[in-house]
Chain A
């Protein structure tokens, strides 16, 4: 097997080509923050939080493959400052009001604010008005809390094979929709499997009936499913 050497944060690491910077870093105990990445799903580099410095260029660790003699810095001041700004933009773009969110205390976005040291949001909050869709009998989507990571879209297409979720529109109007933008309860392709609920990193897609702070997700089920399927 071909062997290459990459340098991550000054450490020489021997690995094989074709793997992502994120994979190699994690295997070697180097933590890179992520949000849209989920083990078991394809990587799209949507959230940009995993940016790292490759010889002065900022690239997403989840979608960039390692190459021989590549030099990666995962936590320079510049990288960390950009990550914080990206996180602030994510907070400013929605209505992330943790105080009465069902996912309070179990939210990847909330955790990232702690991890990345986000003291305040320095850009003006957009305070958008989004529609809540509670038409599904068991689940609901509160788009105020959606960060457009696309995990729901990917898990539905790649693991469940239903392709109920997709993106509609662009820029600040972008949102996730079910089927051809019908109410979730009317989306004929939805199998009600609930995988989108488990992988959603925030309180956007949740089980009905969960009260403030009660919702806990199990995004790791996807990697488990993929693993079991691999072995038939």
Chain B
């Protein structure tokens, strides 16, 4: 059986969802035989693979222009998109900045940029979006894994179902935020 191509991405989040993914313990061994892990913070690939992915899990909210771009690329090149964790599902903690001016915030936190033109090097540092958005506000999302982070058992259940071509049954306590 051909291995299922799985990608994971990390937008505006704390990496806790990826940690929880690694917390699925021995299920990782089962998964390893079934999946090929593509683009992921764990593999440190910088671009989304041209060949595309069967399942892409995205942690974090959409907070800057790069996230927005990558979300669209991921949607185009993935069969199934999973919003992994509350930041991707609702905006969660990163969304607390909504209502504040991003430029003022950057100056307030980092001070004035020490560059010759007085601007941040935007060719490598992406612009912040005016407001942080949940993933489903920018691309269609197929499944939502709630939790901050989602419990390892929930991630295991969902990913195992998806790589076997099944619909993950998410109900009741699976839908608990926080």
Contacts and interface: CB of A to CB of B under 8 A. Distances in A.
B139 interface: no
Q: How large is the interface on B (under 10, 10 to 19, 20 to 34, 35 or more residues)?
A: 20 to 34
Interface in A129-163: 129
B170 A119 contact: yes
Contacts of A113: 146, 175-177
Q: Chain B interface mostly helix, strand, loop or mixed? A: mixed
Interface stretch (A16-24, A99-107, A181-189): A99-107
Contacts of B144: 119-120
B99 A129 contact: yes
A210 interface: no
B91 A127 contact: yes
Given A95-B96, A97-B93, A99-B93, A121 B175 contact: no
Contact of B178 (A98, A118, A121, A128): A98
Contacts of A213: 178
Q: Chain A interface mostly helix, strand, loop or mixed? A: loop
Counting chain A CB atoms within 10 Å of each CB, the highest count among B134, B136, B176 belongs to B176
A113 B147 CA distance: 12
Q: How large is the interface on A (under 10, 10 to 19, 20 to 34, 35 or more residues)?
A: 20 to 34
B175 A98 contact: no
Contacts of B134: 120-121, 125
A6 B86 CA distance: 43
30 contacts: A91-B90, A95-B95, A97-B86, A97-B178, A98-B86, A98-B148, A98-B177, A99-B86, A99-B148, A101-B178, A104-B178, A105-B178, A113-B146, A113-B177, A114-B174, A114-B175, A117-B175, A119-B144, A120-B83, A120-B136, A121-B134, A125-B91, A125-B95, A125-B134, A125-B137, A127-B91, A127-B95, A127-B98, A127-B99, A213-B178
Given A97-B93, A113-B176, A120-B90, 17 more contacts: A91-B90, A95-B95, A95-B96, A97-B96, A98-B148, A99-B86, A99-B92, A99-B148, A100-B93, A113-B175, A114-B176, A117-B175, A119-B143, A120-B83, A120-B134, A125-B90, A125-B134
Interface of A: 91, 95-101, 104-105, 110, 113-115, 117-122, 124-125, 127-129, 213
